[in-house]
A and B are shown apart, each in its own frame.
Chain A
Amino acid sequence: MNVVIIDYGAGNIKSLQFAFKRLGVSAKLTSNPEEISVADKVIFPGVGEASSAMEMLKNSKLDLLIPTLKQPVLGICLGMQLLCNSSEEGSTKGLGIFNTEVKQFSTAVKVPQMGWNTITNLKSGLFKNIKEDAFMYLVHSFYAVTNAQTIATTHYDLDYASALQHNNFYGVQFHPEKSGEIGAQLLRNFLTLE
């Protein structure tokens, strides 16, 4: 299987590559549009700040390519947030795949949220063999507001969308590559999606 991780200079992807390697899959890091277009599965990672990540996507014209992809695409953490309409972080527009906004947690809670929290209201094949209230590892200061495309929610400060899906596009706020065996199961599920 041909799995690619989109390389646009945002963040640490070593753990992701290793997570796929543990599943017996070699995930190639690339910014080449042709390679991304023909891949069986595309991972859209991201760590860092939303507006500068958006700038990096624009500079490489990947902002135009990503919305045209037809194969299963998985946005992780900031990758998921960039697939939304907009983010309060650096007041940036997103790629508009997920019809929702990304907002900052209030100061009623510690920010960033850091650690293991549960995912509930699981709704997609992405969560096959994963139970309600399974634990995933999260590190983030901004969250996606729940909408009709929400396929998992998590509670911190409020109930927010910890996973989203629109057609072939999937997004998860948590880090499956760092979420133990359950995270590995989610990646396995993603690899089997049509």
Chain B
Amino acid sequence: MLTKRIIPCLDIKNGRTVKGINFKQLRDAGDPVELAKRYADMGADELVFLDISATLEERNTTLEMVLKVAEHINIPFTVGGGISSIEDVDRLLKSGADKVSVNSSAIKNPELINALSKKFGKQCITVAIDAKEIDGEWIVHLAGGSIPTKLNMFDWAKEVESRGAGEILFTSMNNDGTKSGFANSALAKLSQSLNIPIIASGGAGTIQHFVAAFTLGQADAALAASVFHFNEITIPDLKRELQNKGIPMRL
């Protein structure tokens, strides 16, 4: 049976992981390869690297990092952040990334999704959607969630699917950082109206939140950052508990 995926997300700047990471066992908590290896060993099903580099030079350092991760890590990983062209994707895939995740650039230029899907295959094109529920409507936001668009999230998700996205990474801005659980009703609605996998993101605080994302939210995968980085939830405990709740896991 196809199992549900647990995906730690690492923020990358200038080729290093940033934001709080608290693993005492690591020699260097900022080394993406060391951290990725640790997560892979603990049973992470995939990894996502989000590049928050500001400059071109920093981005080139990210490419070198991607190459190193591919050399040492034997599970799939996605790279997202600032991707806006076929060339960007080509460079990342050639450096060994398995998938890329596009966000703002797809909103500004939806044709990009068609072009990427045609050239590289839909299996490696994830579209990330940041959305916020405002007066009962889920509105897509740009630039890491700071700028609202006019797009309704469910309409945009449908369009993204029809343009050839292989997967959707849905981050609920209402939930992100709150540790109060995932946006399960929006997730369930997405999952029912689309025929591609949905990754839930934003709001993970407890193991029960993951259970709900897979049951109520019908998500195919769940992504989280700080609960893993700070050892608040360990991946083996999480996966065992999910399995006990009848959610298929790779153990």
Contact = CB atoms under 8 A, between A and B. Distances in A.
Interface of A: 11-12, 14-15, 18-19, 21-22, 47-49, 107, 110-118, 135, 137-141, 155-156, 175, 177-181, 183-184
B216 interface: no
20 contacts: A14-B67, A14-B93, A14-B96, A15-B98, A18-B72, A19-B74, A47-B123, A47-B124, A48-B121, A111-B195, A115-B2, A115-B220, A139-B123, A141-B122, A141-B123, A156-B2, A175-B76, A178-B98, A180-B40, A183-B74
A66 B127 CA distance: 36
Contacts of B123: 47, 112, 114, 139-141
A184 B71 contact: no
B123 to A, nearest CB: 4
A14 B121 contact: no
B196 interface: yes
B5 interface: yes
A115 B2 CA distance: 7
Interface string B42-73: 00011000000000000000000001001110
Nearest to A140: B123
B196 A110 contact: yes
Contacts of A116: 2-3, 5, 45, 250
A49 B250 contact: no
B152 interface: no
A50 to B, nearest CB: 10
Contacts of A138: 2
Q: Which 6 A-B pairs have the closest CB atoms?
A: A14-B96, A116-B250, A139-B123, A48-B121, A135-B250, A12-B93
B71 A21 contact: yes
A118 B250 CA distance: 9
Contacts of B4: 115
Contacts of B97: 12
A113 B2 contact: yes
A115 B196 contact: no
Nearest to B119: A48
The secondary-structure label for the interface of chain A is: mixed
A110 to B, nearest CB: 5
Report, as a range, how many residues of chain B touch the other chain.
Answer: 20 to 34
A98 B32 CA distance: 41
A15 B96 contact: yes
Contacts of B75: 137, 178-180
B177 interface: no
Contacts of B72: 18, 22
B45 A112 contact: no
B165 to A, nearest CB: 11
A43 to B, nearest CB: 16
Interface in B181-237: 195-197, 220-221
Nearest to A137: B76
A177 B72 CA distance: 11
Interface string B108-121: 00000000000011
B245 to A, nearest CB: 18
Interface in B97-153: 97-98, 120-124
A18 B196 contact: no
Between A14, A114, A138, the greatest number of chain B beta carbons within 10 A of the residue's beta carbon is seen for A114
Contacts of A21: 71
Nearest to B167: A114
A112 B166 contact: yes
A184 B220 contact: no
B98 A184 contact: no
Contacts of B3: 115-117, 135
Contacts of A140: 123
